[in-house]
């Protein structure tokens, strides 16, 4: 008898940006790609860190894989814990140029869209799972106003509650942290995202 394909959990990361040479989010998404987790097949994809290209790339992956859940990852250098983002805002305000040279400042993303959209992932359950495993975790009220927030906003609006969508920001890797900047080893980042994803899929 043919086996039923497992539902897909889509995990996205971003490529390096702003002069950096690596992005842990891309590495974590690649590490989880192909794994089976909580009765789901994980598909990990990398998105370009560019306002015009990131959401079309994620939308394409969603169309292709029809995921049961979408978890987007990005780097937030300077944060010391895995940050579960609560809300995406309808605002683009870049402090650095993206990978295509675009740098929108003070712009609404969707003129007819709501000011903010809440994550539809179970952040409380995800947070508890990481706390239990002693992975540094925090809830965050803003994913910023760069490409990460942009993708979170668009992905939530696109899903319209049909599948859960959320965003998790990751600390810098030890090798990329500047002096005094908090960081988290890649293995811990992978462990933390895996646990968070598992908790979300169980919910």
Among 99, 100, 75, 95, smallest CA distance to 85 is for: 75
Residue 187 beta carbon to ligand PCA: minimum distance, rounded to whole angstroms: 19
Contact between 152 and ligand PCA per CB under 6 A: no
Assess whether 72 carries a catalytic annotation: no
From 9, 10, 12, 14, residue interacting with ligand PCA (rule: CB under 6 A)? 14
Q: Which residue has the tokens 């780097």?
A: 75
**Is there binding between residue 104 and ligand PCA (CB under 6 A)?**
no
Catalytic residue among 169, 175, 188, 203: 169
Catalytic residue among 26, 40, 85, 150: 85
Contacting residue, 51, 55, 146, 163, with ligand PCA by CB under 6 A: 146
Rule CB under 6 A: choose which of 12, 25, 83, 154 binds ligand PCA.
25
Q: Which residues pair with 11 in a beta bridge?
A: 44, 71
- In this structure, the chain runs to a length of 203
By CB under 6 A, residue 163 contacts ligand PCA: no
Q: How far is CA 24 from CA 30, 64, 131, in A?
A: 10, 24, 21
- Between CA 150 and CA 85 the distance in angstroms is 13
Q: Which is nearer to ligand PCA, 40 or 150 (CB)?
A: 150
Q: By CB under 6 A, tell whether 29 contacts ligand PCA.
A: no
From CA 48, how far away is CA 34, in angstroms rounded?
A: 21
Per CB under 6 A, 8 contacts ligand PCA? no
**Which among 37-45, 70-78, 154-162, 195-203 is the span making contact with ligand PCA, rule CB under 6 A?**
70-78
Q: Residue 40 has which token pair? A: 């789901």
**DSSP bridge pairs for 42:** 9
17 near ligand PCA, rule: CB under 6 A? yes
Is residue 85 among the annotated active site residues? yes
What are the φ/ψ torsions at residue 99 (nearest 5 degrees)?
-75, -5
What residue has token string 């646990």? 195
Of 97, 87, 80, the closest CA to residue 18 belongs to 97
Q: Any catalytic annotation for residue 65? A: no
Question: Where does this chain bind ligand PCA (CB under 6 A)?
Answer: 14, 17, 23, 25, 49, 74-76, 144, 146-148
Residues marked active site are found at 85, 148, 169
């Amino acid at each position: 008898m043919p086996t039923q394909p497992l539902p897909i959990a889509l995990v996205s990361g971003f490529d390096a940006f702003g002069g950096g040479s690596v992005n842990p989010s891309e590495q974590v998404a690649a590490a989880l790609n192909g794994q089976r987790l909580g009765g789901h097949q994980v598909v990990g994809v990398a998105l370009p860190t560019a306002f015009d290209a990131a959401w079309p790339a994620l939308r394409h992956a969603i169309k292709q894989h029809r995921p049961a859940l979408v978890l987007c990852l990005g780097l937030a250098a300077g944060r010391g814990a895995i940050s579960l983002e609560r809300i995406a805002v309808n605002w683009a305000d870049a402090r650095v140029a993206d990978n295509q040279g675009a740098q929108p400042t003070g712009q609404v993303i969707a003129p007819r869209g709501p000011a903010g959209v809440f994550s539809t992932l179970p952040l409380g359950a995800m947070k508890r799972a990481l706390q239990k495993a002693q992975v540094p975790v925090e809830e965050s009220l803003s994913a910023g106003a760069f490409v990460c927030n942009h993708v979170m906003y668009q992905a939530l609006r696109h899903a319209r509650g049909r599948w859960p969508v959320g965003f998790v920001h990751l600390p810098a890797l030890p090798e990329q942290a500047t002096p005094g900047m908090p960081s988290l080893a890649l293995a811990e980042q992978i462990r933390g995202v895996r646990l968070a994803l598992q908790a979300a899929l169980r919910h």
